[in-house]
């Protein structure tokens, strides 16, 4: 995908760079800044951020009073501005600047050969190893709105917002080092005024534990501001008279660290990442706290050129993009994820049982993933409440497509878990129903399948009446998104413990239970359930008890549908962007044609099946994506999908 089209989807590529430098050697520093800009541009970066006072070095001390150094710094700024045009990249650099007889610690944004604007530092640290107030004036005092730099009028002040001429969602706000550590960082005000990309030029030294604190601070500020935050720290070339600098470069987006650099390098060190600024705009529109916050009275907008020329050489996205957004790739984090979700599920069910004063639940078990997870949740909830597991009535209801493998696993699990097992075959009752409604049993259509699902639900509801309990639902979030359930059949229950868990995560939850919660025979059974093909088992088996009905062959791979679900519901991305992200995430796994085919299926089913979600039973939300009509997702059941389907068809036509 070209840089222009990537920009149309809201992406901006940024670089955070700590260049090699020498203290007070402006020519050396500018040469390495220019080389860093050339390197960043070759990687497709459109904006580069460099450290505080990088043109002179931060640790010049009383040399900041020297006329020679100040004049050289200004010449260096103009040289960097010229380089921005040469390499077609915008950048922000730090330098000392004398204004009306006062010295300011400044950040200058240069673009297309010009100095677009200059932002002075607001908070000057003056304790411990820092004594900036010896040299610099804080920007809290009245400032002239413009400066005249060698015949060019340049905006000056802390109220500047820099708006990309060709990509207005890229609005830049700048703060300098200590500004971020303040009680009220300027970046908060800048974000409320519209800044989506916050830049920090820093000279934070290295102390034990400080890197972790700095990393946390950057991520938290990006989350509070619903913004991207790019931080560039001064490198190891700074003076080591009393402290050491590490060149810590960080890029975060809405609370997530996208990339960071190695520290303590004498050579130029940097990182590059793609920021999704359109997504940040969407997050702000949905966030009520952001919309209610008081924006500053005014902010001056300065236009600058955000180049798109260099990025064409690097078409792939440079940011974390997991294929399974619901499932962490890191094993330790995934285990924590599963533990937290399992606790949410079990506490949700336990609270409902406690509220109703019931000691009985009923659920259908098939030997598949979803019903197995629901059964494990029931067991843990009963254990939490000190209830006898015999109050869990697990009903297996073999039908026309039930395999010996799934039936055996269901029955063995019930026995090993010491719950009450009831085996109620449904074949005879379904055939009687076929005769009642005049349906040919040889006609394996939707009536054939749904009659079985509704018969099973009727049995569960009636057994629940018998024992004075409630029916626990087993379907998952992915099935709700696709409507892959029978309305008023397995769609219905009295409490739906898996309602917030997508299919790709169900598998890992069952696996986690096998590893950490249960052991021996139970763990072995759970492992076999994980390895069993996903199927509703509603069609008769082929010769040798072979399945003829496999869910993913009918509706598509769940890993694709869960990926689509996350982008569409969590971020409200348009089809073109969902397709682009899927191309990146599943490169080498699925062809473009395959992705587009199933994306079209996703949209068709997601829209047409909303009526089922509108009648969903209660169930606990476990993550940022949920489809409860009472909470996260409100959508008319008769909304038209034409706009989205047309977009998918246009994408397919463009590929041909």
**Tens digits of residue pLDDT in 71-116:** 999 999 999 999 999 999 999 999 999 999 999 999 999 999 999 9
- Under 8 Å between Cβ of 172 and 199: yes
State which H helix or E strand residue 170 sits in: none
- Under 8 Å between Cβ of 601 and 552: no
438 and 372 part of one domain: yes
Q: Which residue has the tokens 């673009």?
A: 111
Averaged pLDDT score across all residues of the chain: 94
On whether residue 318 sits in a domain, the answer given is: no
Residue 291: which CATH number?
3.60.110.10
For 18, left (φ over 0), alpha (ψ -120 to 50), or beta? beta
On whether residue 427 sits in a domain, the answer given is: yes
CA 37, CA 46: separation in Å to the nearest integer?
A: 10
**pLDDT number for residue 141:** 85
303 and 342 part of one domain: no
Of 3, 95, 2, which is closest to residue 47 (Cα–Cα)? 3
DSSP secondary structure string, 254-305?
A: TTEEEEE--SS-SS-EEEEEEEEHHHHHHHHHH-HHHHHSPPPS--EEEEE-
Mean pLDDT of 585-599: 96
Domain housing 52: 3-313
**pLDDT number for residue 2:** 47
Active site residue 210: no
**DSSP code at position 488:** T
- Under 8 Å between Cβ of 2 and 254: no
- Under 8 Å between Cβ of 626 and 344: no
On the question of pLDDT at 450 being above 50, the answer is yes
280 and 336 part of one domain: no
On whether residue 322 sits in a domain, the answer given is: no
On the question of pLDDT at 564 being above 60, the answer is yes
Out of 34, 52, 206, 238, the active site residue is 52
- Under 8 Å between Cβ of 526 and 514: yes
354-413 pLDDT, tens digit per residue, is: 999 999 999 999 999 999 999 999 999 999 999 999 999 999 999 998 999 999 999 999
60 and 169 part of one domain: yes
54 and 157 part of one domain: yes
Residue 401: which CATH number?
3.40.50.620
CA 432, CA 453: separation in Å to the nearest integer?
A: 15
Mean pLDDT of 465-471: 97
Out of 177, 219, 338, 648, the active site residue is 177
The total number of structural domains in the chain stands at 2
Mean pLDDT of 457-474: 97
Active site residue 67: no
Other C-beta atoms closer than 10 Å to the C-beta of 580 total 21
Calculate the alpha carbon distances from 7 to 362, 573, 651 in Å. Answer: 53, 14, 17
**At what angle are helices 67-86 and 26-42 packed, to 10 degrees?**
20
Find how far residue 397's CA is from the centre of its chain.
Answer: 40
220 and 145 part of one domain: yes
Out of 54, 91, 121, 338, the active site residue is 121
Instruction: Write the CB contacts of 27 (distance below 8 Å, at least 6 apart in sequence).
Output: 72, 76
**pLDDT number for residue 316:** 80
**pLDDT number for residue 537:** 74
| pTM of the predicted model as reported, rounded to 2 decimal places | 0.92
Give the pLDDT band (50/70/90) at residue 216. very high
Other C-beta atoms closer than 10 Å to the C-beta of 422 total 14
Q: Which residue has the tokens 């090699």?
A: 20
* Measured CA angle at 371 (ends 369, 372), to 5 deg: 60
Of 179, 200, 172, 407, which is closest to residue 300 (Cα–Cα)? 172
268-313 pLDDT, tens digit per residue, is: 999 999 999 999 999 999 999 998 988 887 788 888 888 764 444 4
339 and 304 part of one domain: no
Mean pLDDT of 29-58: 97
646-656 pLDDT, tens digit per residue, is: 999 999 999 87
On whether residue 320 sits in a domain, the answer given is: no
Active site residue 177: yes
306 and 346 part of one domain: no
């Amino acid at each position: 995908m070209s840089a222009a089209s990537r920009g149309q989807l809201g992406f901006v590529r940024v670089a955070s760079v700590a260049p090699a430098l020498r203290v007070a050697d402006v020519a050396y520093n500018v040469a390495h800044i220019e080389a860093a800009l050339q390197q960043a541009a070759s990687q497709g970066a459109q904006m580069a951020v460099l450290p505080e006072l990088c043109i002179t070095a931060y640790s010049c001390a009383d040399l900041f009073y020297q006329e020679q150094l100040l004049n050289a710094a200004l010449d260096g700024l103009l040289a960097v501005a010229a380089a921005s045009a040469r390499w077609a990249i915008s950048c922000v650099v730090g330098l000392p600047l004398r204004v009306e007889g006062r010295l300011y610690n400044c950040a200058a944004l240069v673009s297309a050969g010009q100095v677009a604007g200059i932002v002075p530092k607001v908070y000057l640290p003056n304790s411990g190893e820092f004594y900036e107030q010896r040299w610099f004036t804080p920007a809290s005092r009245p400032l002239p709105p413009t400066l005249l730099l060698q015949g060019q009028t340049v905006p000056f002040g802390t109220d500047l917002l820099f708006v990309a001429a060709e990509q207005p969602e890229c609005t830049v706000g700048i703060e300098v080092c200590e500004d971020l550590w303040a009680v009220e960082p300027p970046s908060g005000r800048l974000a409320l005024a519209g800044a989506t990309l916050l830049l920090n030029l820093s000279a934070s030294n290295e102390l034990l534990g400080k890197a972790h604190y700095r990393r946390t601070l950057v991520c938290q500020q990006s989350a509070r501001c619903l913004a991207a935050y790019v931080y560039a720290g001064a490198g190891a070339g700074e003076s080591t008279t009393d402290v050491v600098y590490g060149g810590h470069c960080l890029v975060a987006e809405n609370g997530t660290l996208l990339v960071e650099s190695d520290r303590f390098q004498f050579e130029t060190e940097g990182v590059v990442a793609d920021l999704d600024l359109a997504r940040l705009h969407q997050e702000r529109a949905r966030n009520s706290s952001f919309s209610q916050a008081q924006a500053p009275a005014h902010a001056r907008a300065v236009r600058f050129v955000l180049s798109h020329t260099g990025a064409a050489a690097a078409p792939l996205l440079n940011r974390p993009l997991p294929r399974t957004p619901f499932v962490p790739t890191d094993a330790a984090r995934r285990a924590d994820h599963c533990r937290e979700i399992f606790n949410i599920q079990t506490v949700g069910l336990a609270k409902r049982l406690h509220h109703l004063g019931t000691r009985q639940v009923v659920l259908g078990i098939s030997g598949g993933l979803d019903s197995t997870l629901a059964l494990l949740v029931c067991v843990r909830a009963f254990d939490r409440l000190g209830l006898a597991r015999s109050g869990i009535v697990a009903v297996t209801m073999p039908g026309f497509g039930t395999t010996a493998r799934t039936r055996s696993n269901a029955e063995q699990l019930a026995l090993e878990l010491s719950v009450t097992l009831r085996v109620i075959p449904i074949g005879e009752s379904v055939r009687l129903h076929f005769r009642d409604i005049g349906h040919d049993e040889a006609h394996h259509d939707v009536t054939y399948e749904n009659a079985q699902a509704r018969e099973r639900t009727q049995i569960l509801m009636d057994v629940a009446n018998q024992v004075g309990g409630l029916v626990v639902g087993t379907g998952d979030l992915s099935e709700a998104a696709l409507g892959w359930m029978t309305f008023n059949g397995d769609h219905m229950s009295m409490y739906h413990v898996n309602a917030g868990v997508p299919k790709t995560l169900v598998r890992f939850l069952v696996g986690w239970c096998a590893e950490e919660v249960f052991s021996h025979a139970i763990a072995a059974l759970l492992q076999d359930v994980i390895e069993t093909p996903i199927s509703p088992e509603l069609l008769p088996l082929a010769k040798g008890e072979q399945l003829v009905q496999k869910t993913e062959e009918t509706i598509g791979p769940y890993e694709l549908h869960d990926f689509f679900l996350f982008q569409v519901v969590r971020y409200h991305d348009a089809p073109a962007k969902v397709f682009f992200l899927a191309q990146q995430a599943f490169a080498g796994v699925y062809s473009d044609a395959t992705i587009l085919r199933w994306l079209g299926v996703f949209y068709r089913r997601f829209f047409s099946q909303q009526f089922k979600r509108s009648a969903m039973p209660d169930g606990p939300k476990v993550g940022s994506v949920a489809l409860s009509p009472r909470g996260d997702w409100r959508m008319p059941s008769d909304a038209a999908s034409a706009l989205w389907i047309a977009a998918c068809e246009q994408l397919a036509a463009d590929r041909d």
